[in-house]
């Protein structure tokens, strides 16, 4: 059985290479290859090794029975890609026995993950941000589990995770990296903790995330696919991408959708389209904490260089010397999109904080407390940054700013 499986894998690899060359010769190979790769992401292949062996047998049998012609070329390409992916999954499953998994539970108003190489200073940083006692040392791999803490800023309770260190080839499972990155995806913000003497490691971290379909500091592309119950085929209503309508249809149909209306409302490429259609891409916000600046006098120049190169917010800090910790807290709060408003009931003197996101309205604040308050809302009195004067009377559509004090008035 093992010998047959190896032969089948070798055959699949050879045929895959031949098909790649043929696709390139046809001039549209890059689109087909990209589509097939993304299909594999969407398939969600089984992790159990015995199940993967069965899956491999099924795929190789189907491949051997399918005759090559123009009509089946695309299907054969998909099969070859699936066979190659199952092969990698079998390798991972064989290595994965007894591996470490990480489970994190969100709490508070928002969640932040500290991500970096071993000995970048993540443990020292979480200690000063949250008063948590995470183990620190001058050797690598000090943190071997997820260490949680809570940072209080502007009355917001922000949960912070000190994640185990990431190393190169984490996306292939090295150092338990796949499990770490998978657990990290629950966060609302990533803080890359980078040693100022090893700034090239930021490139490695970004590459590892990209390999696992994590997209940093980009909004999800405005792509909409509305499936239809009627036999209308794929109707491309709007296409502002760099792709032709034919390419768009091919990608959508590659994911098993044959009747749908498609809108692409911004200029995107094949990777962006595949990411949205597959539903497997994760879009996350991130900033950089450039650590150990007490070792260098040119830290401002280094920070500016990183920011310009990667279009990312960089805060120079020293966790051990507690330098620039308050600016980092402020940047975390800002990049989470949080605002803090204060509720002051009519009959009470003490106001209570309420944490909101984005650019909320008075109606959003009322709804977060209880939908009944919104249903019975007559108006509100606002004092603070968004008000033109003290106790300005406003309606449900009034936009709030951090620091506003609100008194709700309900219908009598």
pLDDT digits (tens, 9 = 90+) for 348-380: 777 899 999 999 999 999 999 999 999 999 999
Q: What is the DSSP string of 1-37?
A: -HHHHHHHHHHHHHHHHHHHHHHHHTT-HHHHHHHHH
Cα separation, 208 vs 176, in Å, equals 13
The predicted pLDDT at position 99 comes to: 47
pLDDT band at 105; cut points 50, 70, 90 = confident
Cα separation, 285 vs 214, in Å, equals 10
Least confident of 82-91, 114-123, 135-144, 292-301: 135-144
Cα angle 304, 309, 311 (rounded to 5 degrees) comes to 85
Contact between 388 and 380 (Cβ < 8 Å): no
Look-up of token digits 């990155």: 181
Contact between 143 and 160 (Cβ < 8 Å): no
Is residue 263 scored above 50 in pLDDT?
A: yes
Domain boundaries, the chain: 2-95, 110-218+282-335, 223-267, 338-410
CATH topology of domain 338-410: Ubiquitin-like (UB roll) (3.10.20)
Cα separation, 62 vs 79, in Å, equals 8
pTM of the model: 0.72
CATH topology of domain 110-218+282-335: Rossmann fold (3.40.50)
The residue that leads in pLDDT, 403 or 75, is: 403
pLDDT band at 168; cut points 50, 70, 90 = confident
Q: What is the DSSP string of 112-180?
A: EEEE--TTSSHHHHHHHHH-------SSS----S-EEEEEEETTEEEEEEEPPPP-TTGGGTGGGHHHH
Give percent of the chain with pLDDT exceeding 90.
49
The predicted pLDDT at position 25 comes to: 43
Q: Which of 395, 398, 404, 278 is nearest to 344 (CA)?
A: 404
pLDDT band at 275; cut points 50, 70, 90 = confident
The predicted pLDDT at position 381 comes to: 95
Is residue 197 scored above 70 in pLDDT?
A: yes
The predicted pLDDT at position 405 comes to: 95
Which residues make Cβ contacts (< 8 Å) with residue 327, sequence separation at least 6? 315, 317
Look-up of token digits 């990480």: 102
Tokens standing for 292? 């150990």
Mean local confidence (pLDDT), 112-137: 84
């Amino acid at each position: 059985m093992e010998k047959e499986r190896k032969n089948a894998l070798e055959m699949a690899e050879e045929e895959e290479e031949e098909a790649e060359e043929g696709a390139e010769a046809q001039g549209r190979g890059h689109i087909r290859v990209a589509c097939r790769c993304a299909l594999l992401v969407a398939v969600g292949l089984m992790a159990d090794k015995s199940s993967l062996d069965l899956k491999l047998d099924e795929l190789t049998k189907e491949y051997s029975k399918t005759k090559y012609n123009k009509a089946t070329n695309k299907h054969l390409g998909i099969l070859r890609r699936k066979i190659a992916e199952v092969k990698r999954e079998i390798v991972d499953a064989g290595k994965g026995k007894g591996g470490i998994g990480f489970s994190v539970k969100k709490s508070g108003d928002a969640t932040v993950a500290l991500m970096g190489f071993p000995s970048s200073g993540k443990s020292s940083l979480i200690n000063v941000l949250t008063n948590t006692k995470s183990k620190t040392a001058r050797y690598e791999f000090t943190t071997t589990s997820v260490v949680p803490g809570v940072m209080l800023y502007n009355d917001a309770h922000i949960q912070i995770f000190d994640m185990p260190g990431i190393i190169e080839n984490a996306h292939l499972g090295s150092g338990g990296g796949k499990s770490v990155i998978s657990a990290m995806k629950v966060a609302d913000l990533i803080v890359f903790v980078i040693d100022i003497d090893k700034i090239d490691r930021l490139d490695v971290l970004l590459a590892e995330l990209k390999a696992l379909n994590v997209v940093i500091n980009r909004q999800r592309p405005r792509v909409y696919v509305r499936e239809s119950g009627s036999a209308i085929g794929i109707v491309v209503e709007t296409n502002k991408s760099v792709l032709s309508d034919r390419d768009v249809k091919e990608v959508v149909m590659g994911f098993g959708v044959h009747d749908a209306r498609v809108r692409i409302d911004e200029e995107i490429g094949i990777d962006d389209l595949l990411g949205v259609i597959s539903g497997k891409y994760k879009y996350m916000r991130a900033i950089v904490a450039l650590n150990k600046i007490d070792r260098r006098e040119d830290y401002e120049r280094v920070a500016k260089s990183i920011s310009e190169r990667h279009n990312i917010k960089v805060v120079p800090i020293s966790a051990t010397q507690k330098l620039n910790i308050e600016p980092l807290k402020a940047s975390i709060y800002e990049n989470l999109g949080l605002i803090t408003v204060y509720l002051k009931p009519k009959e009470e003197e003490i106001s209570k904080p309420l944490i909101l996101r984005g650019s909320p309205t008075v109606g959003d604040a009322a709804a977060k407390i209880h939908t009944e308050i919104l249903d019975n809302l007559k108006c509100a009195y606002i004092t603070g940054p968004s008000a033109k004067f003290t106790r300005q009377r406003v309606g449900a559509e009034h936009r709030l700013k951090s620091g506003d004090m609100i008194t709700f008035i309900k219908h009598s």
